[in-house]
Structure 1
Amino acid sequence: MLHLRLLVPAEHTDEVTSLLERTVGTTHLVVLPGVARDPVGDMVLCDVAREAGDELIAALRRLGVDTYGSITVENMDLTLSTRADRAEEAAPGEGADAVLWEELVEATHDDSTFSVTYVAFLAVATMLAACGVMLDNAILIVGAMAVGPEFGPLAGISTALVQRAPRLVWRSLWALIGGFAAAMALTAGFAWLMDVFGLFNVGMIEADRPNTAFVWQPDWMSFVVAFLAGIAGTLSLTSAKSGALIGVAISVTTVPAAANAAVAFSYRDYSQMTGSVQQLLANLGGIVLAGTLTLLAQKALWRTTRHHQRAAHTRPPARSTQA
């Protein structure tokens, strides 16, 4: 279930409550007159089944509630109510399959911001990966993958393409390209500093590294793994299963490839640098493609499911014939 808190000017309260009352899957409607001060007006509370949430939020926005008032949506972990159970049963579709597009756009928008914190996380992850590739240490590589925040902009690009939001596309691209450029530049400087202190040397980059050589040797399996990870990551976002993102993060080779490219550049090993960049691009492309196709499939499947269930609910009973 979702919990909605609406701040509505008094002159619009009736049309908003009327919409809530006729929306299938809505229950626990509460109106608190005159309690809102900014904006001045009423507070309207209700619960709605997740599978009915996206259409309800879209309808509220068409009324302009987000313009003259506010819409706040919260996920409810536990609701003990017979009315809530009936509301979920009445709403077409399954809550686990429902996508809240407004929530997804907002989440990817926040995660696709080119900020100091975002660049710091990406740079630290890339430096950790640089230590991993130089020491041929797979544990450090896995740790660096988990730290990297790059899935946010990748999901933002997929969401923006499906929702046709060009501003989010450019915002996500800037965070992705600018973030990796800054992280790789800082990692190249880090490698130079480590070389000065004798902790890195050219022999380490040129040595056989059986545990980490894959980061600069791209093949079709790299793309396949990235594609599967993109599907899993997108599903984890749309179903609010955020824990699955950790598994996604440690299955793609974006950060390690960027790290190896930066270190190879600092030692003028342009062959490894080229291979690493190709690995990076293959992973980024696979994730974006998978995320976009997954969202398109979810949107199409959800529309088909709701259409069939609504048709079943509205179909008149068959007439019995007597001989």
Structure 2
Amino acid sequence: MRLVQVFVPQGDRELVLETADRTGVDYAVSEETSRGEFEAVVSIPVPPAAVEPLLSSFRSAGLAEDSYIVVTAAETIVSNRTTELTGRFGATRISREELQARAEDLAPATSTYVILLVVSTIISTAGLLLDSAATIIGAMVVAPLMGPALAASVGVVVDEDELATRGVVLQVGGLAAAIVTAALVGWLLRGTVLLPPGLDITTIPQVRERITPNALALFLALGSGVAGVISLTRNVGSVLVGVAIAVALVPPAATAGLGIAWGSPMVVVTAGTLVLVNLLSINLTALILLWISGYRPQQTANIERVYGRLRSRVVVLVVAIAVLSVVLGAVTYGTYQSATVEHDIQSELETMSDDPAFAELQFREIDVDYEPHDVYTGTQPSVTVLVERPPGEQEPDDFADRVRDRLESATGVDLQVIVELVDMQRSG
């Protein structure tokens, strides 16, 4: 429930009370004894869904613009009179005014925002280098990205250009700051005793997850945008939703920063693409869902203009996501192909170990060098195979070719095969 308190300017008392009567809400009038600008305070308990139509009624009736209307959340209202009101206003969303106020509150002061985001990025970068999912998730609790992501969409829908612009600037500037911070942290740590010598960041699972994204990554961003709007309009689970939005943005941005520190364009491009796709998807779903939820500008005359702007933004976002999704699709296909080749090689080696044609030889895969981007560059996969054999046994000169022929037949791909022969004995 909400408690709406109207500070009634001198001469507007009857106007306010008549409007409340027409709306069919209960109210109480308190005489105002302040310096004389207001003659009374009218207190009206209503469900959240009734706030917006009530405020619209006051404006339509001509309530002075310099009056105060205060909307507060009531923890508990003990009365059986609320049942009828709740039934009449059955919607669950909050009013436009509350939505705008919450969006403004969720977008913190610039200095606070930057400090929290930098701290979150530092922790996230450490989590990536340590391959610690728990550390990365913990860092997301600190990241204040939910506010700007939703503020931009709310500003567009309710026709508040300042709020929309601030949301966009905070998002773009914040993610740029995250990339720079991660690059700086990576540059400072690289080559120190805190990291293994010659560390290849692409071999770290948490980093690799962000540089080999697939089309399913869209669902995280789209779901985060939907959850963000629901949490904002219904005031539930904002902390957890904020974590989900941050997970979609900060770790990929930190990964792109590490790519800069390690001088790896591939890491920068793939992680940067993931950041952009997630950012645009969150904003797209927020815009659409807010409009579908019924939020409109305060001035009815502006609805058509705002709808036109909204439609243009949606088209731009959809086109941008579609273009970037081509990259995600390419990475998805490349990852699938490289994984398929590796799986087929492993399966064939197991078959060869059991094949009587190879006597007592045992085949072990040591390494398959075939990255997703190799699928498009035409780079030949390189396979290193360890073959265990009984002591003293010699293999024919064309043995490596025979192994390669078997593996190429299984994978359907031309391979470069290196065979390492090792004499093997097992104790009884």
- Class of the TM-score when normalised by the shorter of the 2 chains: 0.7 to 0.9
Contact 1:6 1:45 in 2 (8 A): yes
The residue that corresponds to 1:15 in the other structure is 15
Shift of 1:71: 1.1
1:115 counterpart = 2:110 = yes
Quick one: distance in 2 between partners of 1:151 and 1:64? 36
Aligned residue identity for 2:240: I
Q: Which sits farther off after the overlay, 271-280 or 162-171?
A: 162-171
CA deviation profile, 1:148-198 (whole Å, cap 9, x unmatched) = 111111111222232233322211111111222223323322333334754
Quick one: distance in 1 between partners of 2:216 and 2:13? 56
Structure 1 segment 126-141 matched on structure 2, within 5 A: 126-141=121-136
Quote the sequence identity (%). Answer: 26
Quick one: distance in 2 between partners of 1:291 and 1:120? 26
1:268 counterpart = 2:268 = no
Shift of 1:113: 4.7
Contact 1:215 1:260 in 2 (8 A): yes
> Structure 1 runs of 4+ off > 6 angstroms?
none
CA deviation profile, 1:57-92 (whole Å, cap 9, x unmatched) = 223344565731211111223211122222223x24
C-alpha spacing 1:130/1:64, structure 2 compared with 1 (3 Å): farther
CA deviation profile, 1:284-309 (whole Å, cap 9, x unmatched) = 11111111222122228xxxxxxxxx
1:250 counterpart = 2:255 = no
Shift of 1:207: 4.6
Number of residue pairs aligned between Structure 1 and Structure 2: 294
Contact 1:30 1:44 in 2 (8 A): yes
Quick one: distance in 2 between partners of 1:99 and 1:167? 21
RCO greater where, 1 or 2, for CA within 8 Å and sep 6 or more? 1
**1:253 aligned counterpart, secondary structure:** helix
Q: Which sits farther off after the overlay, 211-220 or 191-200?
A: 191-200
Contact 1:128 1:141 in 2 (8 A): yes
CA deviation profile, 1:84-141 (whole Å, cap 9, x unmatched) = 222223x24x242x33111111211232355111111111111111011111111111
Quick one: distance in 2 between partners of 1:86 and 1:179? 46
Structure 1 segment 204-223 matched on structure 2, within 5 A: 204-223=199-218
Contact 2:117 2:142 in 1 (8 A): yes
C-alpha spacing 1:117/1:200, structure 2 compared with 1 (3 Å): farther
Aligned residue identity for 1:292: L
Aligned residue identity for 1:246: L
Structure 1 segment 160-309 matched on structure 2, within 5 A: 160-195=155-190, 198-200=193-195, 203-241=198-236, 243-247=237-241, 249-250=243-244, 252-299=247-294
**1:220 aligned counterpart, secondary structure:** coil
**2:11 aligned counterpart, secondary structure:** helix
Aligned residue identity for 1:234: V
CA deviation profile, 1:39-70 (whole Å, cap 9, x unmatched) = 54322211112221111122334456573121
C-alpha spacing 1:38/1:115, structure 2 compared with 1 (3 Å): farther
TM-score after normalising by structure 2: 0.63
* Structure 2: gaps spanning 5 or more residues: 296-428
Quick one: distance in 1 between partners of 2:254 and 2:29? 55
Quick one: distance in 1 between partners of 2:252 and 2:211? 6
**1:81 aligned counterpart, secondary structure:** coil
Contact 2:221 2:279 in 1 (8 A): yes
Quick one: distance in 2 between partners of 1:38 and 1:130? 58
Contact 1:188 1:263 in 2 (8 A): yes
Quick one: distance in 2 between partners of 1:247 and 1:40? 42
**2:33 aligned counterpart, secondary structure:** strand
Q: Which sits farther off after the overlay, 161-170 or 228-237?
A: 161-170
C-alpha spacing 1:22/1:36, structure 2 compared with 1 (3 Å): farther
Quick one: distance in 2 between partners of 1:8 and 1:203? 72
Quick one: distance in 2 between partners of 1:10 and 1:201? 75
TM-score after normalising by structure 1: 0.82
C-alpha spacing 1:74/1:208, structure 2 compared with 1 (3 Å): same
**1:73 aligned counterpart, secondary structure:** strand
Contact 1:33 1:42 in 2 (8 A): yes
1:144 counterpart = 2:139 = yes
Quick one: distance in 2 between partners of 1:65 and 1:143? 48
C-alpha spacing 1:12/1:49, structure 2 compared with 1 (3 Å): same
Structure 1 segment 68-83 matched on structure 2, within 5 A: 68-83=66-81
* Structure 1: gaps spanning 5 or more residues: 301-323
**1:67 aligned counterpart, secondary structure:** coil
Aligned residue identity for 2:142: V
C-alpha spacing 1:197/1:117, structure 2 compared with 1 (3 Å): farther
Quick one: distance in 2 between partners of 1:247 and 1:173? 19
Contact 1:113 1:172 in 2 (8 A): no
Quick one: distance in 1 between partners of 2:37 and 2:123? 48
Question: What is the RMSD computed on CA atoms of the aligned residues?
Answer: 2.4
